Homo-oligomer: A and B are copies of this chain.
Amino acid sequence: MRKVAIIGIGQTPVDEHWDKSLRDLAGEALIAALQDANRETIDGLFIGNMLSGIVNRQENLGSLIADWVGLHGVEAFKVEAACGSGAAALRVALMAVSSGEMDSAIALGVEKMTDTKGADTTAALATAADADYEAAMGLSFVAINALVMQRYLYEYGWKHTDFAQFSINAHANAVHNPCARLQEAITEKEYRKARMVAEPINLLDASPIGDGAAAVLVIPAEHLRPNGRGRPVITIAGSASATDTLAVHDRPDPLWLAAAERSVQRAYAQAGLGPGEIDLFELHDAFSIMSALSLEACGFAERGQGPRLALDGEIALNGRIPITTRGGLKARGHPVGATGIYQIVEVVQQLRGEAGGTQVDGARIGMAQNIGGSGATIVTHILTAT
């Protein structure tokens, strides 16, 4: 199995892109990744996307996007794992290159989701949950997470405001990310007074959706040539994915992300690393409760103690485990099927020292974790710079 390196990244701003179609956004990010890698073509294209069928009435994105950007004839498919689609596409690109099937591939995440009405978007997002046993009962996706958070507060005795720092930290970092959807800081007072969405989740616990695309170009590490730009070599040291029950009520403990634990343990083992060696962690903060659960499942906090890291400032850029360093889902935005690739792009920025105002000093090892459904499909990547 060949080791795989990331040599190109590209992204569009996350926003409501009224003047750009899905193919426009995908093309921008893809061409940016090619240019960043100083390449003109690739052997394969794997597209993380969740909602193109329902929202854009467009499937067959592989052919659509390969054709649009002039990559005539390349192998190209869509990979779907709800909000985990982006990192799932990277898994496929990695296997394509590590197997020797191809010598270069792009994993692209793209979502164009603001062209529809809010209620339709909510219904579309509910397809990430169990259609027969959750969505059919009227549970929206935010409602599922609200039930989880409610239970978490009850079980471990935290108050809602103990989660404020997750959102404050994400927004503070997004100020320095020109691709972030919400480039504005928030205060604890604003967090406390934010409009309720689904008790106890308020507007500032929840990530905004958006349109956007991001891309990473991978090749076998053995093909690396000096890039003449003084950049470090970014290698995928760990990559693993696992599933849990789709419906949250089927889990022995709804407050434990078993698939996160399973995938991160495999990724740690592959990389020969543990949580103490991770310099930054782009986690899947679709809701603030998910930040706490992810930190616990990945070994950064004891069970039920995730909020403690936020309260103690350990998630800040100079803390023990900086998270959402470019704004996270909360403030960079959550174009669902694209999010997993945005996370990878952001980890690469950190490892290259290109994270500007939110650079984590001396970052050499970064982790990203992308989640589809309420913990149902979880993909973890560990990247290292040498």
Q: Are A60 and B99 in contact (CB under 8 A)?
A: no
Q: Is A212 an interface residue (CB 8 A)?
A: no
User: B62 and A243: CB pair below 8 A?
Assistant: yes
Determine whether the beta carbon of B62 is less than 8 Å from that of A81.
yes
Main secondary structure of the interface of A (DSSP, over half): mixed
Contact, CB under 8 Å: A127 / B60: yes
Contacts of A94 in B (CB 8 A): 101
User: Once the chains bind, are B21 and A60 in contact (CB under 8 Å)?
Assistant: no
In-complex Cβ contact of A92 among B51, B95, B124 (8 A): B95
A61 to B59, CA, bound (A): 16
Residue pair A243, B377 in contact (C-beta under 8 Å) = no
| Residues B51 and A53 in contact, CB atoms below 8 Å apart | yes
Q: A37 contacts the other chain (Cβ, under 8 Å)?
A: no
CA distance A96 to B91 in the complex (A): 9
Residue of B nearest to A74 (CB): B243
With both chains docked as a complex, state the minimum distance between the C-beta of A321 and any C-beta of chain B, in angstroms: 25
In angstroms, how far is the closest chain B Cβ from the Cβ of A305? 24
- Option from B50, B73, B127, B250 in Cβ contact (under 8 Å) with A67: B250
Q: CB-CB < 8 A to A243: which residues of B?
A: 62-63, 66-67, 72-76
What's the Cα separation between A79 and B48 when bound, in Å?
A: 10
Residues of B within 8 A of A373 (CB): 60, 63
Taking the complex as formed, is A78 at the interface, i.e. its CB lies under 8 A from any CB of chain B?
yes
Q: Can you name the residue of chain B whose Cβ is closest to the Cβ of A127?
A: B59
Name A21's contact: one of B62, B101, B132, B372 (CB within 8 Å): B132
- Judged by a CB distance under 8 angstroms, whether A342 is at the interface is no
For A58, list chain B residues within 8 Å (CB): 127, 130-131
Residue A283 at the B interface, CB < 8 A? no
CA distance A53 to B64 in the complex (A): 19
Query: Is A365 located at the chain interface by the 8 A CB criterion?
Result: no
Can you report 7 residue pairs joining A to B where beta carbons are below 8 Å apart? Answer: A59-B128, A60-B81, A62-B243, A67-B245, A67-B376, A79-B92, A94-B101
- Per CB-CB distance, the 10 closest pairs between chain A and chain B, nearest first, are A99-B99, A63-B376, A58-B131, A1-B100, A60-B82, A78-B80, A59-B127, A53-B53, A75-B241, A95-B95
